[in-house]
Structure 1
Amino acid sequence: MKTVARAVAAAFAVAAFGYYLLHGLTYDGPTEYGQDILAWVGPQMALPIIALTITPIVFAFTGDGILSALTGTNSHAFRGAQIGLGTVRAVRHTGVSLNDQPQLRIELSVEGADGKVFGSAAKLVVPLHQMSTLRPGVVLPVRYLPHRTDKVEIDLSGDQRAAQHAMNEAMLRKGFTTRGKLDIAERGIAAQGVVQTLSVPGEIRDGHTKVVLGLVVTRPDGSTFAARTEKYVPPTAVGHVQVGRILRVHYLPQDESEVVIAVPVGA
């Protein structure tokens, strides 16, 4: 869509200026003014003026991140692209804004579905109140094209299931979880658990810290049970597992000894 819109705008500009030049160079009307001023001044100026107005607007509004901000969806090329996990490395303003909301260039380290990691960047129009959430270390689901990894788009589909699947596969590759725990997260009963104890053994794996949590889990009927679980968490998610925090957990009723906690993908 972006390519088509820009092509149409560019073709219109070329046609408008081509017609204007052709009119001026081939003008054979009256020359009472001592020169062929009417060849260049007149209604024929309307098309170039319109082109000068419309073309920059089309190119601006079809820029990276702008069209997505207007539609709330990813661009056509990335809409069905693969989902990877992008870790924010740096954020800077591009100098462009839409409705007083700045467009940001987000430098990312992206882990693809195959486990390969590559550097890339995305542009996104971000509301002012959400800018503080885009800080180095935050993990975001992104859409990427395997044949063009220099550019990605932050996933705007809202497909939490797909984003969580990408996170789960990445955690499996790094040894942060097991298929058994993922099965509990998929089939287990959803409940709430309060962190009562937190210990940090000091083990770090791929930048993630191992924490051991003591939880009190509330069953759907209101009764409770104690559980202990381990999890590797990124630095940005350590605040989510502090003592007193309420966590979303899953467990199997036939085996309450194994509890799996859920931490949001973007935490």
Structure 2
Amino acid sequence: MNRTVRTIVLGFAALAVGIYLWHGLTYEPGSDYEPGYLAWVNGLLALPIIAFAALVNVFVFTRSGILSALTGNNTAEFRDAPLGLGTVKSFAHTGVSINDQPQIKIEFSVEGADGKIFDAASKTIVPLTELSLLAPGVVLPVRYRPDRPGVVQLDLSGDSVAAQRAMNESMIRKGFTTPEKVDIAARGIAAQAIVQSLTVPGEIRDGYSKVVVGLAVTRPDGSIFTSSSEKFLPPAAIGNVQVGRIVTAHYLPENETEVVLSIPVNA
């Protein structure tokens, strides 16, 4: 879409400048007293001025991230593109700002819907209040095009269900969880639990450590039962399951031996 708009504006600019030059070069004065500069200083001078202004505006506002920031939506070419998971590798200010909000270029390692990993970048406007949330290792949902894997856009659809589904599928592929545990997290009762013990067996998968967490889970009626939960966590999230911490757990009433912990991805 952006390319089409730019092509149209470029065509208009070429036509406008061509008409202006043709008129100036072929102009013949109406009388001997008519100034020669009127060949160039006349109403047609507006054509190249308008063309230049159109070129500047179109090439600025169709830059990656600018149009999305103005509309609050992904651009047409990414709106229905596959949803992937982008892990932030690095980020930097591009020098562009919109309403005092900086445009940031984010370098990602992206896991596509098919499980393939590729590097990509995205330029997006980040509100100053959210800039501190960006850090290497943060996982964000992104839209990508298989035919242009090096460029992605942050997912602006607000579809949390699709984002969670993509995360679940990724965790299952990597062996961090199972379809059965995903089902418990989706259908089970949400309850508060206190961490009573924490064991680290030493197993590591893709940089995630396996932990076994002993829990005292409070049922909706106030009664308590004990159980344990196995989970793979990144090093930065281990602090969320230290002994004494209150966590959110899900379980099915008919099987209280299987408890699933709910810990935010970027906790």
* Corresponding residue of 1:74: 74
The answer to whether residue 186 in structure 2 is matched with residue 190 in structure 1 is no
How far apart, CA to CA, are the structure 2 residues paired with 1:244 and 1:4? 58
Letter of the structure 2 residue corresponding to residue 101 of structure 1:
Q
Question: Closer, same or farther in 2 for the Cα pair 1:13/1:259, shift >3 Å?
Answer: same
Deviation at 1:33, TM superposition (A): 6.6
Moved more, 34-43 or 74-83: 34-43
Letter of the structure 2 residue corresponding to residue 36 of structure 1:
G
**CA offsets 1:214-240 (integer angstroms, 9 cap, x no match):** 333333334333332121112343344
SS, match of residue 153 in structure 2: strand
How far apart, CA to CA, are the structure 2 residues paired with 1:198 and 1:38? 86
How far apart, CA to CA, are the structure 2 residues paired with 1:33 and 1:90? 67
Moved more, 3-12 or 87-96: 3-12
How far apart, CA to CA, are the structure 2 residues paired with 1:58 and 1:37? 31
The answer to whether residue 90 in structure 2 is matched with residue 90 in structure 1 is yes
Moved more, 220-229 or 12-21: 220-229
RMSD: 2.1
How far apart, CA to CA, are the structure 2 residues paired with 1:117 and 1:212? 29
Deviation at 1:164, TM superposition (A): 1.2
* Corresponding residue of 2:218: 218
The answer to whether residue 154 in structure 2 is matched with residue 154 in structure 1 is yes
* Corresponding residue of 2:117: 117
How far apart, CA to CA, are the structure 2 residues paired with 1:221 and 1:15? 76
**CA offsets 1:118-154 (integer angstroms, 9 cap, x no match):** 1111111101121122111111111111222111111
Instruction: Check whether the contact 1:79–1:143 (CA below 8 A) recurs between aligned residues.
Output: yes
Structure 2 residues not aligned, in runs of 5+:
none
Instruction: Check whether the contact 1:164–1:265 (CA below 8 A) recurs between aligned residues.
Output: no
How far apart, CA to CA, are the structure 1 residues paired with 2:77 and 2:111? 19
How far apart, CA to CA, are the structure 2 residues paired with 1:240 and 1:36? 80
How many residues are matched?
267
* 1:163-182 matches, cutoff 5 A: 163-182=163-182
Structure 1 residues not aligned, in runs of 5+:
none
Under a length normalisation based on structure 1, what TM-score does the superposition of the two structures give?
Answer: 0.91
Question: Closer, same or farther in 2 for the Cα pair 1:22/1:261, shift >3 Å?
Answer: same
How far apart, CA to CA, are the structure 1 residues paired with 2:236 and 2:142? 18
SS, match of residue 212 in structure 1: strand
Moved more, 126-135 or 241-250: 241-250
Question: Closer, same or farther in 2 for the Cα pair 1:98/1:32, shift >3 Å?
Answer: farther
How far apart, CA to CA, are the structure 1 residues paired with 2:154 and 2:196? 36
SS, match of residue 259 in structure 1: strand
* 1:5-44 matches, cutoff 5 A: 5-30=5-30, 36-44=36-44
Under a length normalisation based on structure 2, what TM-score does the superposition of the two structures give?
Answer: 0.91
Moved more, 88-97 or 214-223: 214-223
Moved more, 28-37 or 147-156: 28-37
Deviation at 1:107, TM superposition (A): 0.8
The answer to whether residue 108 in structure 2 is matched with residue 108 in structure 1 is yes
Deviation at 1:78, TM superposition (A): 1.1
* Corresponding residue of 1:234: 234
How far apart, CA to CA, are the structure 1 residues paired with 2:215 and 2:65? 42
Deviation at 1:5, TM superposition (A): 2.6
How far apart, CA to CA, are the structure 2 residues paired with 1:246 and 1:98? 41
How far apart, CA to CA, are the structure 1 residues paired with 2:226 and 2:51? 70
* Corresponding residue of 2:132: 132
Letter of the structure 1 residue corresponding to residue 88 of structure 2:
V
* Corresponding residue of 2:60: 60
Moved more, 12-21 or 195-204: 195-204
How far apart, CA to CA, are the structure 2 residues paired with 1:81 and 1:8? 25
How far apart, CA to CA, are the structure 2 residues paired with 1:33 and 1:197? 100
SS, match of residue 5 in structure 1: helix
